[in-house]
Amino acid sequence: MDLQEYINLYYPNKLNWFVDECNKQIHQDRIMNMFNIQEYLNGSHAILNRADTVYNGRTFKTTKIMLQYAKPLMAFQKSFLLKNPVTLTCEDDNTLKAMNDVYKQGRFNSIDNKILDKMNKYGLAAEYLYIDTDMNIKSKIIQPIDSYPVFSDTNDYICFIEHYTILASGISYYNVFYNDRVEEWDNQGGDGLYLRNTYKNLSGLPILYCKQENEEDVTQGRSDLEDYVNIIDKMEELLSKYHDSFYKFLNPIPVVTGTKLNIDKNGNGAIDKNIVGNCLQLDDGSNFDLVLSKMDINSMKEMYKILMNSLMDISMTPNIAFNGGSNPANLAEESIRMMYTLPVLKGSMSAEYLKQGYYIRWEQIEKLLKYKGINADGLVDCTFNMSIPSNETELVNNIVNLYNNHLMSIDSAIEHSPYTNDIQSEIKAIQANKDSDNNIGTTDKDKGTGADLSNSEGAGDNNTVDNSTDNNSND
């Protein structure tokens, strides 16, 4: 089913069919969920709705401790996978050079970080490629909360709608991306929608980066945040309630055991009036205590520890990254790498979701390069350099040994080097240095040969002089 068949089936004879499409329940539910995620990241946590209590006849304002663990967790996942830029690979040197140039001019490494950040937070990210006025290929990230991808009944991606409303003016905008054109609509100046502009679409539909972990609908992504919220809420509740309990139970209860001394009519047994302060007078065998409620700090610590470990396990984050594990100075490198088994698994899953979008991106870049007169039709791939703790000195020594023993090519050696991101540029730089060294060596050799030749000529002149001298003497 193509787009026209889809429109004829669900929106027959409707010019502004995309308005009804954006109002579909499946889109509204997804956008509302994104709004909730956005509010949570901005600090709207469930603990803030905790009601105040009345204690000893007065209103007690309950403690509301908010833990922003979601942000550092997602920052770690993004940095772990993309702290080191993605390395492009291709057997065709011309294609690889063209791709690397596009990445540098368009700053695609920074774009990749933003895409992964949106994917982790909202489960979806959209990217549109275009050629700017300077004939450079650029990338525009469409906000997930403004994204309305259109899928046919067979889950084919057939159209994309970018819709948003400016609250200050109340103007609604619709940018409809077709395969061959982009239409800009808005309701400025009236109640109806007006077509403002139509542009040629050179690249194609916006690229979708989707975390396909939604078991209900493969076309919908799922935010990682949904796995963390309940655990973080319980951690906030536990800390807040314990904090209130600590201050509440500091108010002791007076308990008197026995009877007070009786005072006769003559005042015997009374406390001296000259005493400054308060004094409690009890009969022999009586006692007075201030009783405090006992609080089990150990059980609270254990519960909090269990919740924290659960959060780390579900997010596939090593405890050592949040200072919750052992001292890394006391751990061997192999032990630390074993702690990063789950982050590597999580990073591999995210890398696979990114690659599904990258393949479409590279095809669109090749298409846009043809408009610039550049032919780049090689098969492009990439490798992710995850930030796994390692002994870089040992790694470099192993690479050098393999290369010196002819067990690894120079391309593979540079590719596995922890200090190299652009393989082809590095190889060209190495070759340029070699050529420069060879030219210098050749020049020095020529200079040395000239000196030798000069010595030889000098030796020949001396022989001639000697011979002539011998002849003269013979004469």
Q: pLDDT exceeding 70 applies to what percent of the chain?
A: 81
In the predicted model, is pLDDT for residue 292 greater than 80?
A: no
Among 173-187, 326-340, 379-393, 399-413, the range scoring the smallest mean pLDDT is 326-340
Q: Which of 241, 274, 291 is the last residue of a domain?
A: 291
Q: Are 231 and 396 in contact (CB under 8 A)?
A: no
Instruction: Give the C-alpha separation, 396 to 385, whole Å.
Output: 15
Task: Specify whether 351 is located in the same domain as 259.
Answer: no
The residue ranking higher by pLDDT, 417 or 66, is: 66
Q: Which of 233, 268, 291 is the last residue of a domain?
A: 291
Choose among 69, 68, 61: nearest CA to 243.
61
Task: Specify whether 267 is located in the same domain as 225.
Answer: no
Task: Specify whether 325 is located in the same domain as 461.
Answer: no
Q: How confident is the model at residue 456 (pLDDT cuts 50, 70, 90)?
A: very low
The residue ranking higher by pLDDT, 450 or 167, is: 167
Task: Specify whether 275 is located in the same domain as 167.
Answer: no
Q: Is residue 438 part of a domain?
A: yes
Q: Is residue 216 part of a domain?
A: yes
Q: Is residue 383 part of a domain?
A: yes
DSSP string, 73-125: HHHHHHHHHHSSPPEEEES-HHHHHHHHHHHHHHTHHHHHHHHHHHHHHHSEE
Task: Specify whether 334 is located in the same domain as 267.
Answer: no
Task: Specify whether 267 is located in the same domain as 228.
Answer: no
Q: Which of 291, 315, 340 is the last residue of a domain?
A: 291
Q: Is residue 121 part of a domain?
A: yes
Q: How far is CA 191 from CA 18, 19, 186, 336, in A?
A: 16, 13, 10, 62
Q: Is residue 397 part of a domain?
A: no
Question: Residue 83, SS3?
Answer: coil
Task: Specify whether 42 is located in the same domain as 181.
Answer: yes
Q: Is residue 334 part of a domain?
A: yes
Instruction: Give the C-alpha separation, 127 to 139, whole Å.
Output: 6
Domain range holding 28? 18-251+298-390
Q: How confident is the model at residue 459 (pLDDT cuts 50, 70, 90)?
A: very low
Task: Specify whether 171 is located in the same domain as 181.
Answer: yes
Instruction: Give the C-alpha separation, 120 to 210, whole Å.
Output: 9
Q: Is residue 158 part of a domain?
A: yes
Task: Specify whether 278 is located in the same domain as 304.
Answer: no
The mean predicted confidence, pLDDT, of the chain is: 83
Choose among 124, 166, 121: nearest CA to 141.
124
Q: Whats the size of the chain, residue-wise?
A: 475
Which of 140-149, 253-262, 373-382 ranks highest by mean pLDDT? 140-149
Task: Specify whether 219 is located in the same domain as 285.
Answer: no
Task: Specify whether 227 is located in the same domain as 265.
Answer: no
Q: Is residue 44 part of a domain?
A: yes
Q: What would the mean pLDDT of 209-214 be, rounded to a whole number?
A: 81
When divided into structural domains, the chain yields a total of 3
Task: Specify whether 263 is located in the same domain as 246.
Answer: no
Residue type, 285: G
